[in-house]
Amino acid sequence: MILVTGATGTVGREVVRRLPPDGPVRILTRRPDRAGDVADHIEVAVGDYGETRSLERALRGVRRVFLVTAGVGGDDDERFLRAARAADVRLIVKLSAAAVTNPGADDAITRWQRRCEALLRASGTEWTLLRPRAFMSNTLAWAPLIASGRPVSALYGTSLNSCVDPRDIADVAVRTLTEEGHEGRAYTLTGPEAVSAAQQTACLAELLGRPVPFEELDPARARAAYLRRYPEHVAEALLLGAEQQRDGAKARVEQTVREVTGRPARSYAEWAADHLRMFGSGVP
């Protein structure tokens, strides 16, 4: 049995879609109504990282896990790893972040991901770490602006990020969950090239066939925008992460998607073309 956590989220949802239909799969969610229509071979376990009993139930009979946690600074990983050890789980494939390998990154999100990685390595359960660069899907946050003709804005908008398609992360995750030989490996996952927010905006404009204005955001406005969406420690971490990107720390391209899956990583243009209707393309 494979347990997919974060199964209603960006990456986990794609992992569930890709797992072979002949193996038993269970998904963990707090809100089963959000899971949508699940295939017949998929079991739904209702659970919350904050409730150990629900994790014990979800982990019964599970041998492999795709682990996604999102509570920055929290102790969800501790609780989950204890329950997984007690349930005799053999392998945990954890969604982490590329920033953990950057010695210059010392923000709250990266410190939390490093701590979670260390806990997993010391847990006694076999592990594989997936360390993606920024998700291409983060640009979906621009969709309401673009649909209503307002400018897209970003902090350090001409700095480069080798962002990755969540479908490629999921493809790698499925390989690591279903093949032997990925235990003890840490995979940094990027797209095929580094692109800036301004270039992503231009790409969307070309695909949509209409202008999409782009504006540089100054740090004070960026802080205010982050604080409207996130708690302060996360907002400050995102600002520090943007400074790392400004200084060139997020531009390196890795070949890991190709090495693990046997085909090249998808470009931002491919991701954008496949999600264009979410930007108000008029295509149903």
Ligand X SMILES: NC(=O)c1ccc[n+]([C@@H]2O[C@H](COP(=O)([O-])OP(=O)(O)OC[C@H]3O[C@@H](n4cnc5c(N)ncnc54)[C@H](OP(=O)(O)O)[C@@H]3O)[C@@H](O)[C@H]2O)c1
Per-residue interface string for the shown chain with ligand X, residues 87-116, x marking contact by CB under 6 A: --------x-x-------------------
Q: Which stretch binds ligand X (CB under 6 A): 10-18, 141-149, 232-240, 267-275?
A: 10-18
- Of 13 and 284, nearer to ligand X (C-beta) is 13
Give the closest residue to 195 by CA, choosing from 236, 223, 145, 154: 154
Shortest distance, CB of residue 80 to ligand X, whole angstroms? 9
Give the closest residue to 88 by CA, choosing from 60, 58, 118: 60
Q: Which stretch binds ligand X (CB under 6 A): 2-10, 83-91, 170-178, 237-245?
A: 2-10
Shortest distance, CB of residue 113 to ligand X, whole angstroms? 6
**34: contact with ligand X by CB under 6 A:** yes
Shortest distance, CB of residue 99 to ligand X, whole angstroms? 8
Residue 118: which residues within 8 A CB-CB, separation 6 or more? none
Report whether 164 contacts 191 (CB < 8 A). Answer: yes
Per-residue interface string for the shown chain with ligand X, residues 236-265, x marking contact by CB under 6 A: ------------------------------
User: Rounded to an integer, what distance in angstroms lies between the CA atom of residue 210 and that of residue 23?
Assistant: 46
Report whether 212 contacts 152 (CB < 8 A). Answer: yes
Q: Where are the beta strands (DSSP E) in 123-225?
A: 126-132, 152-155, 186-189, 214-217
- In the numeric block, the tokens 């003890």 are attached to 184
User: Rounded to an integer, what distance in angstroms lies between the CA atom of residue 66 and that of residue 27?
Assistant: 10
Shortest distance, CB of residue 79 to ligand X, whole angstroms? 10
Instruction: Count residues binding ligand X (CB under 6 A).
Output: 25
Residue in 20, 50, 149, 184 binding ligand X, rule: CB under 6 A = 50
- In the numeric block, the tokens 């400018």 are attached to 151
String of DSSP letters for 110-121:
HHHHHHHHHHHH
**29: contact with ligand X by CB under 6 A:** yes
**195: contact with ligand X by CB under 6 A:** no
Binding residues (CB under 6 A) for ligand X: these are: 5-12, 28-31, 34, 48-50, 68-70, 95, 97, 132, 134-135, 138
